[in-house]
Structure 1
């Protein structure tokens, strides 16, 4: 594990030192290995930027385990608005298939479009809540999604804090019920929320989302660790704040469920207007805002904006963000001085260096990764730097094998199964919990029959009593350090048992009678064979009784010694089995 020994306590520093800082820009050093990177990136793909989002995702598919297309809005317990189709020519199904073909799970986001306190009323009515659970689960099945992401921000930003005491338990009940439904159909439940604070800090954050209660039942928590500064100029998501929120979340649920939000945008505030601006000059950005409010700057464009005004972005270490000021003079075409103004603006934004600093939290707290809002507008240098880092924390590939008898074994006879697990460089996987699993012909999936722990040599053994044909395999559970390892399946063929034969001593022209006992004792086709002229020849057939008793007869037409055996033919559960031979004399 030497390539990971440096992670604890120094991941941020090491990552940043591996980048070349040129003109305030972070350029990745050459990756030192060809290991596949840990899949530590996900994000939201807005319906209004499908082309850009898909291009980003497909170009970096090796980093994405899943993605959250921003496609739907819940309008009532029975109505979910499709926002994708009106905005895009390509069918939604084509995007889903393309992502899944690239090995990326599709977990679309659903916003709360019901209006102030409307969702609280739905969740408070057991009948409507059940309808909503069904509506959402059916949406996932109908479209072949891999799960759903609830991005219900109305509780936090529309309903008002006075509603939270009522909303929180209703929300919790709903999440638990939806989790049961989605998990039953094999789907993921993801929840996106603003930050919830550790009560010990004296701050509660958006506690309405009840992380302590929903954490154990959800599969993903996406934390909106951005928009820290909105009304007033400041960092978009200061690193120290992101760290604190992540640390607290990791105490409430499996850290691997947690994904830290990363903004791929900055904000551009008007901080001063000197003079009278010309008629028609619009300082309001975005449209409709007033001077002093923020505009949005894409991360990919922020450095170019600074350069266009000869501004130098300044890195603030504790925030993990850049900022700069710039001024712009607006003058009328007629040169009238009384209609000239100077506008001063301040910009805060995150770039590739910022993302690298937040990605370092993945190793620090062993969380799932980072989630970009939104995909397709990020700093292009983000991808090589994140990929470099993801390679350094890539989990080991685990190779497994299982030894089992290669020839048929007798019914109800214990056999030894030996599983061996190593990582790709042949180091043994020691102390790993191993699940031994079987699949019979009548099974539709693998099922666990026993567990064991690997020795220092990476070996685990169990005894299996084989009762019919079966496939066996062993699975080493994945951890932070290594991927799940599954051995190739081995077939174990089982044959029935035929007890010692009994035979009479018939006279010429009468019948020879051969008796035996078959296990397991179910009606089975059996054949009586005689050794004639150097080969076995079938002379009679029948079936075992329900108690396993075999009684076969054949007419004897020649005096002398006669040798017989009984065979039980193969079927979907057992191999062909042959009894020992027995001889008799005919006079």
Structure 2
């Protein structure tokens, strides 16, 4: 294994963090970034095991970390073994076996290979093993921020909608941007504030900048300057509805931005449209090149929602079989430890033949109670119901509850990706946080 120290990034750092967690030390989220919390966990491990306390993971520290863990026994792979068969043999869950052997490729087992078998019993204090982030739209920032204040232990980072690009490459602020209340609270609780920049879903706006090298470089510098000036850990690029002809130029822009951010020790996160293949179901999805974006970005947020949207026919916001297919494609093109699934918590109310309005969980439940109609619960499609309003217009409502949200978390675990980003805070069923703790 490579010698690792603070500042290192990548899959081996993720493996280091998983090992530390299994030993009972808290390296922070399993995010592949060797930061202060991971370094502190390494120092504690080295102290407890009589190793040189330098915070550097060299051969001796690796050897100690990879020795038999407390609560585990070793097993040697034999002919015909699969992880599924081994899990059955030892009467443990496949997920716990995979978690105990995060560096093992289940499709490439070798006879004589050693793996760890978790032994049931008391373990270290549980911590979240996946990144949990959340988007805070500026138009409901106060409400969204309350969710963070109610559950500060849950969030690794938050991304408030604070900035919008312009056709001359500038970065303008939305109302409520750079809130000292949000910044001071987040920093006091160890939550990263990684603001979002949008192109307002404007294809032409981003196209003008991408196709002019001078404007493109000006935009890069403005983003980096803002990130450094405000001492953000990084930035979330949310440029949607691009022209397909700008697909390659968008990746060029991201590479240029990544290089400039990396020089300042800042992270690049990119939000992309969900799709199940390279072409996607519409032009905006096709214009997001998962391979190129995945190579340029430190993390990629796949917006796994709006299978049905405001302008579509009524239906589930993120049916589980579709999200499953979205993640299957995503992990085939982007490293798993870079992928965050954008998970919905809001829904839509469609008046018959009209455009839908967005609804929160509490609004959807209250509306069903108001009209005294039953809510059909569905763990794969989400809760839904119909009602007739006082004007005699029929409505169909689809939304998200903790049960359905938990199904989407199961898919995150299935594909072993980095974590989730919630769209959007303030709209959620309060019980989703119990689901997050239970699943992660």
Give TM-score scaled by structure 1 length.
Answer: 0.52
Rate the CA distance shift 1:81–1:328 in 2: closer, same or farther, 3 A: same
SS of 1:206's equivalent in the other structure is helix
- Give runs of aligned pairs for residues 314-463 of structure 1, distance below 5 A: 314-319=376-381, 321-330=382-391, 342-390=392-440
SS of 2:167's equivalent in the other structure is coil
Cα deviation, residue 353, structure 1:
1.0
Rate the CA distance shift 1:135–1:205 in 2: closer, same or farther, 3 A: closer
* 1:28 match: none
1:173-216 deviations in Å (ceiling 9; x for gaps): 00111011111111111111211332599999712111111212
- Give runs of aligned pairs for residues 69-80 of structure 1, distance below 5 A: 69-80=160-171
* Residue 43 (str. 1) matches residue 159 (str. 2): no
Rate the CA distance shift 1:201–1:185 in 2: closer, same or farther, 3 A: closer
Rate the CA distance shift 1:208–1:8 in 2: closer, same or farther, 3 A: same
* 1:84 match: 175
Cα deviation, residue 300, structure 1:
2.6
Distance in 2 between the 1:205 and 1:249 partners? 16
1:299-323 deviations in Å (ceiling 9; x for gaps): 133223212222111133442x111
1:285-337 deviations in Å (ceiling 9; x for gaps): xxxxxx52212210133223212222111133442x1111112233xxxxxxx
Distance in 2 between the 1:325 and 1:10 partners? 43
- Give runs of aligned pairs for residues 102-181 of structure 1, distance below 5 A: 102-113=189-200, 115-155=202-242, 163-164=243-244, 166-181=245-260
Q: Pick the structure with more helix per residue.
A: 2
Cα deviation, residue 34, structure 1:
4.3
Contact kept? 1:56, 1:376, Cα under 8 Å: yes
Distance in 1 between the 2:96 and 2:319 partners? 19
Contact kept? 2:386, 2:397, Cα under 8 Å: yes
| Structure 1: unaligned runs, 5 residues or longer | 12-31, 156-162, 272-290, 331-341, 391-587
Q: Which runs of 4+ in 1 moved over 6 A?
A: 1-4, 200-205
Question: 1:237 is matched with which residue: 318, 323, 333?
Answer: 318
SS of 2:307's equivalent in the other structure is coil
Contact kept? 1:197, 1:207, Cα under 8 Å: no
SS of 2:333's equivalent in the other structure is coil
SS of 2:232's equivalent in the other structure is coil
Rate the CA distance shift 1:204–1:247 in 2: closer, same or farther, 3 A: farther
SS of 1:244's equivalent in the other structure is helix
Structural RMSD (CA): 2.8
Q: Pick the structure with more strand per residue.
A: 1
Aligned residues: 328
Larger Rg, first or second structure (1 or 2): 1
1:435-475 deviations in Å (ceiling 9; x for gaps): xxxxxxxxxxxxxxxxxxxxxxxxxxxxxxxxxxxxxxxxx
* Residue 262 (str. 1) matches residue 347 (str. 2): no
Rate the CA distance shift 1:9–1:114 in 2: closer, same or farther, 3 A: closer
Distance in 2 between the 1:238 and 1:168 partners? 27
Question: 2:295 is matched with which residue: 203, 213, 216?
Answer: 216
Distance in 2 between the 1:203 and 1:71 partners? 27
Contact kept? 1:267, 1:349, Cα under 8 Å: yes
* 1:192 match: 271
